């Protein structure tokens, strides 16, 4: 009997797997002509999740496994005093970001998975510290999501500042799709906003909502692993992983609900569906969605004069297809997608550094710098 | 005639296959399935097929079948460098997942007994604990 039930179950799964998905309207193309090339500037990294460029031209690089590397004059040094990192599944030592006034105040911000607090497992935390020689000092945890979970998924992690100096960061749904993202009394599946000292801004959207996590700025997110301030509009943009299909770019607005998992362009990894709708009143539409998924991690805008062909474009790393995606926008719509650095490896992060050059962090390889061809 | 006979044969094969697994292996496979769904499915996919040229297949994988120790090592400490699976070369980096030894054993038992793969000799927590970098 049991076998028959299994067979029926398999048959059912096979048939229900025929869920229809609408592919992205704009397809990614291979470029016909690229006037830039790449050179490997930092060698031998495993999972370089985050990178921050210090005023002296050196780079701070986070390795997911828990190390903080200071790359200076062609040499790597390990920084001491880093937090205890809970390394499991997609979680570990993640983003690093300098305060906009780093030159004056020296503050550096980190995201990492931490097992501190309530329950077994871990959840995403935000740390502020200063670099003194080879050591992190004045470490202070500004936020720690709870409860902990042993699940391996969706820690989010990206950190960004807006023009007013507010600190934004992402935490994914931690694999609890049906519990976390739509509930503002719970952590996870959210974009958060804090003051740079970790206090809650008075005008955060849910400060007066009973039992709400008051650091929440927007909700209904799955797993945003890219976040950047649009240098032209000054808005905070994110890219987030969908399940099978349904990765999204979202422009973050205060108090808004981005719909996960009530609306989605994605389906389950198994091919079955979890929702029939892609839009609903009161929920935001993405600026762009990817079907099939590219597994986007890391995002930045090209604003520097070094790349006239790409100015104003968005760059997004693809973990799954191992390339850097260039998205051309017109009137806030994606009109063209191009596959740069095809086959380079899993692209974890991309940053336009203060020197105007674009740096690309690739798993198992290192950090590449994109330079004009001579 | 042919098709009912074939079904009966497959039915028996499934039964035989199940009977050859001890209760211990069976429950390990069951736990391993949960680990797989949590940590592995995003890249290796529900059917173990992987992603062409990027993530190697686990289903019918000669590498997994013939490299028990190296496979355990890869899950336990991460997988880096070139490996050849079913005649194709892969060179992606797989991070260590932070699984405990019993979890590595469970997920190994699951992937070596799914999608047409079969491995009767159970992988135990003890065996995993002895494998070092």
Which residue of B10, B98, B116 is the best one to mutate when testing the A interface, meaning the one whose CB has the most A CBs within 10 A? B98
Closest partner residue to B39 among A47, A89, A270, by Cβ?
A89
φ, ψ for residue A316, nearest 5 deg: -135, 130
Assess whether A154 carries a catalytic annotation: yes
Q: Does B6 touch chain A (CB under 8 A)?
A: no
Question: Which percentage of chain B shows pLDDT scores above 90?
Answer: 73
> Taking 90 as the threshold, does the pLDDT of residue A8 lie above it?
no
Task: Provide DSSP, A223-269.
Answer: -EEEEEE-TTT--EEEEE--SBS-EEEEE--TT-B--TTTS-S-B-T
Checking if the pLDDT of A245 tops 60, the result is: yes
Contact of A65 with chain B, judged by CB distance below 8 Å, is answered with: yes
Confidence of residue A5 (pLDDT cuts 50, 70, 90): low
- Quote the mean pLDDT of chain B: 89
CA distance B75 to chain A (A): 11
DSSP string, A135-186: EEEEEEEEEE-SS-B---S-----EEE-TT--EEEEE--TT-TTTSTT-TTS
Give chain B positions within 8 Å (CB) of A66.
none
- State the smallest CA–CA distance between residue B27 and chain A in angstroms: 16
| Tokens read off for A308 | 């006239």
Q: Which of A137, A44, A49 is nearest to A87 (CA)?
A: A49
Kindly state the helix (H) or strand (E) to which residue A7 belongs, with its residue range: helix A2-16
pLDDT in tens, B38-90: 999 989 999 999 998 889 999 999 999 999 999 999 999 999 889 999 999 99
**Angle value at C-alpha A250, between A249 and A252, nearest 5 degrees:** 150
The 8-class DSSP code of residue A85 comes to -
* Structure confidence at residue B8 (pLDDT): 61
Structural domains in chain A, CATH included, are 32-372 (2.120.10.30)
Report ipTM for this prediction. 0.73
Residue numbers of B between 62 and 91 with CB closer than 8 Å to A:
78, 80, 91
Report pLDDT for A11.
46
B130 close to A (CB below 8 A): no
Give the model's pLDDT for residue A18. 45
Distance from CA of A207 to the nearest CA of B (A): 34
Query: B54–A86: do the CB atoms touch at under 8 Å?
Result: no
Q: Check residue A38 and give its pLDDT.
A: 98
Q: Which of A6, A65, A152 best tests the B interface by mutation, with the highest count of B CBs <10 A?
A: A152
Beta pairing, strands A68-72 & A75-78: antiparallel
Question: Which residues from chain A sit within 8 angstroms of residue B14, using beta carbons?
Answer: 3
Count residue pairs from A and B with Cβ separation < 8 A: 57
A320 contacts B51? CB cut-off 8 A:
yes
Of residues B38, B46, B54, nearest to A89 (C-beta): B38
Portion of chain A with pLDDT greater than 70, in percent? 95
For residue B52, the model assigns a pLDDT of 87
Q: Does B16 lie at the interface with A, CB-CB under 8 angstroms? A: no
Q: Are A148 and A94 in contact (CB under 8 A)?
A: no
Residue B19, pLDDT above cutoff 80: no
Q: Which CATH number fits domain B23-130: 1.10.357.10, 3.40.50.720, 1.10.2020.10, 1.10.760.10?
A: 1.10.760.10
Give the 3-state secondary structure of residue B36.
Answer: helix
Cβ neighbours of A281 (radius 10 Å): 4
Please give the DSSP secondary-structure letter assigned to residue A345: -
Closest CB from B14, B39, B51 relative to A3: B14
Contact A46 B93 (CB under 8 A): yes
Is a pLDDT exceeding 80 seen at residue A6?
Answer: no
Q: Is pLDDT above 80 for A250?
A: yes
Average pLDDT over residues A48-53: 98
Q: Is A121 on the interface with B (CB under 8 A)?
A: no
Query: Which residues in B lie closer than 8 A to residue A175 (C-beta atoms)?
Result: 38
**Beta carbons of A152 and B39 less than 8 Å apart:** yes
* Reported pTM: 0.89
Average pLDDT estimate for A154-175: 98
**DSSP letters for A25-70:** SSPEE--S--SEEEEEEEE--S-EEEEEE-TTS-EEEEETTS-EEE
Confidence of residue B112 (pLDDT cuts 50, 70, 90): very high
pLDDT at B93: 85
Q: Is the pLDDT of residue B9 over 70?
A: no
A317 and B CB contact within 8 Å = no
Contacting residues of B for A295, CB less than 8 Å apart: 42
Question: How would residue A358 be classed by pLDDT, with cut points 50, 70 and 90?
Answer: very high
Stretch among A214-228, A335-349, B4-18 having the lowest mean pLDDT: B4-18
Instruction: Reply yes or no on whether the pLDDT at A65 is more than 70.
Output: yes
Residue A118's pLDDT band (boundaries 50, 70, 90)? confident
Least CB-CB distance to A88: which of B46, B93, B97? B97
Asked if the model's pLDDT at residue A16 lies above 50, the reply is: no
Q: Does A11 touch chain B (CB under 8 A)?
A: no
Instruction: Evaluate if residue A12 carries a pLDDT over 80.
Output: no
Contact B95 A92 (CB under 8 A): yes
In percent, the amount of chain A with pLDDT more than 90 equals 93
Degrees (nearest 5) of the Cα angle A140, A158, A351?
Answer: 115
Structure tokens at B100: 């405990």
Q: Is pLDDT of B14 > 80?
A: no
Average pLDDT for A215-219: 98
The residue ranking higher by pLDDT, A343 or A6, is A343
Name the catalytic one among A99, A154, A241, A349.
A154
**Which H or E run includes A109?**
strand A108-114
- Residue of A3, A89, A175 lying closest to B98 (CB–CB): A89
């Amino acid at each position: 009997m049991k076998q028959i039930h299994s067979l029926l179950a398999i048959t059912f799964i096979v048939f229900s797997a025929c869920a229809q998905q609408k592919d992205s309207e704009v397809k990614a193309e291979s470029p016909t002509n690229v006037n830039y090339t790449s050179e490997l500037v930092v060698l031998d990294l495993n999972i370089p999740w985050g990178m921050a460029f210090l005023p002296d031209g050196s780079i701070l690089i986070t390795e997911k496994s828990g190390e903080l590397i200071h790359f200076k004059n062609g040499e790597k040094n390990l920084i001491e005093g880093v937090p205890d990192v809970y390394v499991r599944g997609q979680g570990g030592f993640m983003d690093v970001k300098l305060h906009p006034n780093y030159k004056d105040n020296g503050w550096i911000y980190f995201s990492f998975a931490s097992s501190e607090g309530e329950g077994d497992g871990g959840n995403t935390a935000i740390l502020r510290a200063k670099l003194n020689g080879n050591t992190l000092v004045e470490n202070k945890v500004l936020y720690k999501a709870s409860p902990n979970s042993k699940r391996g998924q969706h820690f989010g992690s990206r950190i960004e500042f807006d023009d007013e100096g507010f600190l934004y960061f992402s935490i994914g749904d931690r694999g609890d799709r049906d519990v976390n993202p739509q509930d503002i009394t719970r952590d996870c599946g959210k974009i958060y906003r804090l003051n740079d000292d970790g206090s809650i801004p008075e005008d955060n959207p849910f400060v007066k909502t009973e039992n709400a996590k008051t650091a929440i700025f927007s909700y209904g997110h799955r797993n945003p692993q890219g976040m950047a301030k649009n240098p032209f509009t000054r808005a905070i943009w994110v890219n987030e992983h969908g399940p099978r299909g349904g990765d999204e770019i979202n422009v973050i607005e205060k108090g808004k609900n981005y719909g996960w998992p009530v609306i989605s362009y994605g389906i389950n990894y198994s091919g079955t569906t979890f929702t029939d709708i892609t839009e609903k009143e009161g929920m935001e539409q993405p600026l762009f969605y990817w079907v099939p998924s590219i597994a986007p991690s890391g995002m930045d805008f090209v604003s520097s004069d070094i790349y006239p062909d790409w100015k104003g474009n968005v760059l997004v790393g693809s973990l799954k297809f191992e390339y850097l995606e260039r998205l051309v926008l017109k009137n806030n719509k994606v009109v063209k997608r191009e596959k740069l650095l095809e086959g380079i490896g899993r692209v974890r992060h991309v940053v336009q550094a203060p020197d105007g050059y674009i740096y690309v962090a690739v798993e198992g390889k290192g950090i590449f710098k994109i330079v004009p061809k001579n | 005639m042919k098709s009912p006979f074939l079904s009966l044969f497959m039915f028996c094969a499934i039964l035989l296959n199940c009977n050859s697994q001890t209760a211990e292996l069976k429950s390990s496979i069951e736990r391993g399935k949960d680990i797989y769904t949590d940590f592995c499915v995003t890249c290796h996919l529900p059917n173990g097929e992987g992603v062409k040229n990027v993530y190697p297949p686990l289903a019918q994988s000669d590498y997994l079948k013939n490299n028990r120790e190296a496979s355990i090592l890869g899950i336990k400490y991460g997988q880096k460098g070139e490996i050849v699976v079913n005649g194709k070369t892969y060179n992606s980096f797989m991070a260590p997942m932070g699984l405990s030894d019993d979890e590595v054993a469970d997920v190994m038992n699951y992937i070596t007994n799914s999608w047409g793969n079969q491995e009767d000799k159970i992988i135990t927590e003890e065996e995993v604990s002895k494998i070092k970098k």
